[in-house]
Amino acid sequence: MVKQICLFVLVFTFLLIFFNSILFSDDEPCVQCHIKISPGQVADWRTSQHFEEGITCSTCHGEEHNSKENVNLVQFPDEHVCGECHDTQFEQFKKGKHNFGWTSLNALPVTHVEPDELMEGGRGCGGCHNMGIKTEAQKKELREKGYRYQNNSCDECHTRHSFSKKEAQDPRACQQCHMGYDHPQWEMWSSAKHGTRWFAKENGRLPKEAAAPSCQNCHLPNGTHENRTAWGFLGVRLPLPENPQWAADRITILKALGVLNPETGKPTPRLEIVKAVDMARLTDEAWQKERDKMIETCNKCHSKLYAQEQLEMGDAIMKKADRLLAQAIDIVADLYKDDILKKPDNYSFAYPDFLYFMRTGSGNLKQASYIEQVLFQMYMKHRMRTYQGFFHVNPDYAYWYGWAMMTKDLGEIRELAETMRVTYKLKK
Ligand code: HEC
Ligand code: HEC
Ligand code: HEC
Ligand code: HEC
Ligand code: HEC
Ligand code: HEC
Ligand code: HEC
Ligand code: HEC
């Protein structure tokens, strides 16, 4: 009897393994070999829906490579490969802002004077901006520089090889990029009421049904992969506002972004780049469309009036922040005008240029003067925090890390300019 049971168990187990491997393609040569070479990866893939559906290594990587001698023949699937089975998400993604990540990065002048490792290499700028379907020319550039990976941006939110939906629904999937110096959305959200509630739900202190908006609820509502906000990152838009002071201030900021010629006020070729990668909303309608979508989202939990008022206050703060920034730009621009600051070779105009960032001084680019670094920080760090903090309902970021720091920067710029003028006179 014991013998028979043992035999039965043995045969059953054998059959189970046999059918399991046929059904789930576990016997693929890729898996057989890679279970020894990179076991963690295979284990991870086995947790995925893909594994359940019989989608195996070769579905995505091709069949040409089959030994350690021909690793170079392996294919790395880009978004089109995912799109063959997930065309809805692919098409939505294509229309959204994430699809411009790589292109907008490469459109900036600063990118071409910084170390490649921090760009194509996939750390620094390139690490977060590996978003967007690359053109053949962009892929060729990557390969020619010797960089083999970064062919896919779908794996930025549902990471390989588990490719999980649940993982991408977690705001921490956004944290890796939406954090830090100039876009601390993670820090702002997670330490304000909306985020606090989300974590309270997560650890069971609030019931599952409690209202707590995540990044995804507000920015990728109903599972869409198309993302865009009204103001965008740069916090500028067209047409110019009716208020004359705000209009003048925005023109000053657009000059420092290099999209308006500081001498003539006419658009420069950079405006075309900004347009091409959808960096700013260029009509009232385009802006209002995104704003209305957002209010609809807030309205799931708040009254419409409440939401409208909250967001309009954000717009008002933008206007006041622009007043501070424009004054600072003018002070630095006057130093250029009076020849106290000299135009770097790379610059198109003798005028501050935000899109060269901190100007590290590599190549033939002169290191930025201290006053220009303070000005850049005022724009890129503190103005960002002022309005982003407001929109993400974070009191401390909006005031202490944002507005208060902007006023400090302006004071510092005034004093530095005075000192520089005196020194200049003395030297003459
Ligand atoms: C006989 C063993 C063997 C087989 C079979 C095999 N591989 Fe590999 N594979 C390797 C080795 C060895 C490497 C290099 C690993 C390393 O660098 O650590 C590799 C690397 C890879 C890489 C990464 C390449 C890179 O540049 O980082 C991928 C992707 C890959 N294999 C996929 C597959 C797929 C898909 C199959 C089946 C079609 C497969 N492998 C079959 C041994 C194998
Ligand atoms: C659904 C598609 C898909 C499947 C299935 C898949 N991969 Fe991948 N794999 C990717 C993507 C996407 C990348 C990243 C490509 C890039 O960065 O250019 C990748 C990268 C890799 C790499 C190189 C990076 C690293 O982390 O080492 C290896 C090795 C690899 N896969 C092995 C495997 C093996 C083994 C299997 C089967 C167990 C498998 N893949 C199944 C999509 C897939
Ligand atoms: C050959 C077809 C095929 C390819 C190629 C493919 N998938 Fe899938 N994927 C599926 C199927 C089938 C499912 C199961 C659920 C479904 O029917 O949508 C799935 C499920 C998913 C899910 C949801 C998993 C969950 O937890 O619910 C994600 C995310 C996903 N795939 C991402 C990707 C990404 C990213 C790529 C490219 C690197 C890719 N897929 C390539 C067929 C494919
Ligand atoms: C791998 C890095 C990365 C991850 C992960 C990521 N993002 Fe982004 N996100 C970016 C980059 C880069 C941009 C700017 C794209 C560009 O250059 O146009 C961006 C832009 C955006 C914008 C558009 C802002 C505007 O200008 O209107 C929104 C909204 C957004 N992301 C939300 C999210 C959410 C929500 C998540 C998580 C589900 C997320 N992102 C995950 C890198 C990332
Ligand atoms: C930690 C991740 C990360 C790093 C590092 C990073 N970025 Fe970004 N970048 C983002 C995110 C996220 C956004 C969108 C932020 C937002 O809309 O608030 C963005 C926005 C941008 C935009 C504006 C895109 C648009 O359409 O509005 C440009 C241009 C840009 N980054 C260039 C760079 C350059 C150049 C570097 C390196 C010097 C860099 N980034 C480093 C994540 C990063
Ligand atoms: C910015 C983060 C992000 C990126 C990048 C991203 N996804 Fe998603 N994806 C999500 C989120 C969030 C969900 C969950 C949506 C929901 O709640 O229904 C999701 C869900 C999915 C699902 C499951 C759909 C379902 O309801 O079963 C698939 C399939 C998928 N994504 C494919 C892709 C593909 C293909 C790409 C690349 C073109 C991609 N994703 C890029 C965030 C992302
Ligand atoms: C309660 C809704 C809500 C949540 C939750 C939320 N945001 Fe936002 N987000 C907004 C609003 C409102 C704006 C400004 C929209 C506009 O321009 O009118 C915004 C703007 C943005 C922008 C554009 C630049 C900026 O900051 O103004 C990015 C990028 C972004 N959010 C990412 C995120 C990320 C990542 C998370 C999660 C860590 C998140 N948001 C959580 C509502 C939300
Ligand atoms: C999924 C539900 C949900 C969504 C969507 C949502 N909120 Fe909230 N919000 C809450 C909850 C819950 C609170 C906490 C209520 C309280 O303060 O007692 C809150 C609090 C607030 C507060 C008060 C914060 C404080 O410190 O007192 C503001 C302002 C706010 N939300 C604005 C918005 C705006 C603007 C939007 C849309 C961009 C939005 N919310 C979207 C649920 C939501």
Cα of 428 to ligand 5 centre, how many Å?
42
Checking if the pLDDT of 15 tops 70, the result is no
Pocket test for ligand 7, best of 227, 287, 293, 392 (most atoms within 8 A of CB): 392
Q: What is the per-residue pLDDT for 59?
A: 97
Q: For ligand 4, atom 38, which residue shows the shortest CA distance?
A: 174
Reported as a single tens digit per residue, the pLDDT across 228-276 is 999 999 999 999 999 999 999 999 999 999 999 999 999 999 999 999 9
Cα of 226 to ligand 1 centre, how many Å?
34
Query: What percentage of the chain reaches a pLDDT higher than 90?
Result: 84
**Nearest ligand 2 atom, CA 55:** 5
Quick check: CB of 392 below 6 Å from ligand 2? no
Region of residue 129 (phi > 0: left; psi between -120 and 50: alpha; otherwise: beta): alpha
Q: What is the per-residue pLDDT for 285?
A: 98
CA atoms within 13 A on the CB side of 228: 23
Pocket test for ligand 3, best of 44, 47, 55 (most atoms within 8 A of CB): 55
Q: For ligand 3, atom 5, which residue shows the shortest CA distance?
A: 82
Quick check: CB of 183 below 6 Å from ligand 8? no
Task: Measure the CA–CA gap between 326 and 425, rounded to whole angstroms.
Answer: 26
Q: For ligand 1, atom 40, which residue shows the shortest CA distance?
A: 30
**Nearest ligand 4 atom, CA 174:** 37
Query: What percentage of the chain reaches a pLDDT higher than 70?
Result: 93
Quick check: CB of 394 below 6 Å from ligand 8? no
Nearest listed ligand to the Cα of residue 209: 8
Which residues have a Cβ under 8 Å from the Cβ of 115 and sit 6 or more positions away? 121, 362
> Is residue 53 very low, low, confident or very high in pLDDT (cuts 50, 70, 90)?
very high
Q: What is the per-residue pLDDT for 346?
A: 84
**Nearest ligand 7 atom, CA 188:** 38
Reported as a single tens digit per residue, the pLDDT across 100-145 is 999 999 988 888 888 888 988 888 999 999 999 999 999 999 999 9
Quick check: CB of 165 below 6 Å from ligand 3? yes
Nearest listed ligand to the Cα of residue 66: 1
158, 42 Cβ separation under 8 angstroms: no
Closest CA to 325 of 242, 239, 402, 401: 402
- Over residues 366-386, the mean pLDDT reads 94
Q: What is the per-residue pLDDT for 18?
A: 46
Q: State whether the Cα torsion 203-207-209-211 is positive or negative.
A: negative
Checking if the pLDDT of 180 tops 90, the result is yes
Q: For ligand 8, atom 5, which residue shows the shortest CA distance?
A: 298
Quick check: CB of 125 below 6 Å from ligand 6? no
Quick check: CB of 165 below 6 Å from ligand 6? yes
Checking if the pLDDT of 370 tops 50, the result is yes
- Which has more pLDDT, 356 or 389? 389
Q: What is the per-residue pLDDT for 4?
A: 74
Quick check: CB of 108 below 6 Å from ligand 5? yes
**Nearest ligand 5 atom, CA 97:** 26
Cα of 42 to ligand 2 centre, how many Å?
10
> Would you mind telling me the total number of residues written for the chain in this entry?
428
Quick check: CB of 220 below 6 Å from ligand 4? yes
Quick check: CB of 384 below 6 Å from ligand 5? no
Token duo for residue 203: 């650890």
Quick check: CB of 39 below 6 Å from ligand 5? no
CA atoms within 13 A on the CB side of 124: 11
Q: For ligand 8, atom 26, which residue shows the shortest CA distance?
A: 193
Quick check: CB of 291 below 6 Å from ligand 8? no
Quick check: CB of 86 below 6 Å from ligand 3? yes
Checking if the pLDDT of 21 tops 90, the result is no
How buried is residue 189: exposed, middle or buried, by Cβ count under 10 Å (0-12/13-18/19+)? buried
Reported as a single tens digit per residue, the pLDDT across 186-216 is 999 999 999 999 999 999 999 999 999 999 9
Quick check: CB of 156 below 6 Å from ligand 4? yes
Cα of 49 to ligand 3 centre, how many Å?
7
Quick check: CB of 50 below 6 Å from ligand 7? no
Closest CA to 368 of 343, 348, 349: 343
Q: What is the per-residue pLDDT for 112?
A: 83
Q: What is the per-residue pLDDT for 113?
A: 82
